[in-house]
Amino acid sequence: MAKEKENLTARERQAIQTRNNLLKAGKEVFLENGFQKATISQIIKRANTGYGTAYVYFKNKDDLFIVLMEEVMDKFYQVAEQSFEPKSKKEAQEQISKQVHLFLMLAVEEKAMMSVVKEAIGFSSEVEQRWNVIRERFIERISVDVRYSQEHGLANSSFHPALVARGWFYANEMFMWDCVKGDNDFSIEDVILNLTKLYVDGLY
């Protein structure tokens, strides 16, 4: 990566820096004002760049926000992408429980940004469409784990992997938003225990 940067021209390095400045400014403005009240003008002013320059990188605030949303969701995806090769139902339950724990704790850790994501999904069709793409990415990854368990005789092979994965992600997504809003009537530990047990006992 360092070598790649060394090979960049001064103009290319400046372009990367300008884009990064806009993203940094955008994140600050969104966190301060929320999605609806944030404006591209506020972001451009905070980034100390020109309007013409800013629009080279992002067509509007929605476009810029989508990049920020994808950056934070990549952290969640790293949890979903963890190696899943259990040799028994017990191992599967332990690994799934760990994933749910990391997923929900990340929601708490990224609460401020995820609150803006939730707001943006409700106000911007562009953000909503991108969220649906992100959601499908998670569902496909979960499907891989379900198929692995079925192929190795751990999970009930009569279930459709994609449907199971969709239901499992929706359940986790619901509790993720509860964590972000602080609306949970139960402890995260209780949610993890019950959610994991319901899923594992139903599938395995």
Query: Does 100 lie in the same domain as 34?
Result: no
How far does CA 52 lie from the centroid of its chain? Answer: 31
Identify the CATH number of the domain in which residue 14 sits.
1.10.10.60
Query: Does 47 lie in the same domain as 22?
Result: yes
Residue reference for tokens 């997504």: 173
Predicted local distance difference test score (pLDDT) of residue 58: 96
In 3D space, the residue among 132, 128, 16 whose CA is nearest the CA of residue 65 turns out to be 128
Domain span including residue 67? 62-203
Summarize the confidence of residues 99-112 as an average pLDDT.
Answer: 97
Q: Which residues of 20-46 are buried (b: 16+ CB within 10 A; e: fewer)?
A: ebbbebbbebbeeeebeebebebbbeb
Query: Does 109 lie in the same domain as 35?
Result: no
Domains contained in the chain, number:
2
Cα dihedral: 135, 138, 139, 140 (round 10): 120
Using the 8-state DSSP alphabet, how is residue 63 labeled? H
List pLDDT tens digits, range 43-85: 999 999 999 999 999 999 999 999 999 999 999 999 999 999 9
Q: At which of 58, 74, 94 does a domain end?
A: 58
Predicted local distance difference test score (pLDDT) of residue 6: 66
Average pLDDT, the chain: 94
167 vs 94: CA distance, rounded Å: 20
Kindly report the number of other CB atoms within 10 A of residue 128's CB atom: 13
Evaluate if residue 5 carries a pLDDT over 70.
no
Q: What is the CA radius of gyration of the chain?
A: 20
List pLDDT tens digits, range 117-176: 999 999 999 999 999 999 999 999 999 999 999 999 999 999 999 999 999 999 999 999
Query: Does 185 lie in the same domain as 116?
Result: yes
Q: Which of 9-13, 184-188, 196-200 is predicted most confidently?
A: 196-200
Query: Does 71 lie in the same domain as 42?
Result: no
Query: Does 131 lie in the same domain as 108?
Result: yes
Identify the CATH number of the domain in which residue 149 sits.
1.10.357.10
71 vs 51: CA distance, rounded Å: 24
Query: Does 80 lie in the same domain as 39?
Result: no
Query: Does 72 lie in the same domain as 19?
Result: no
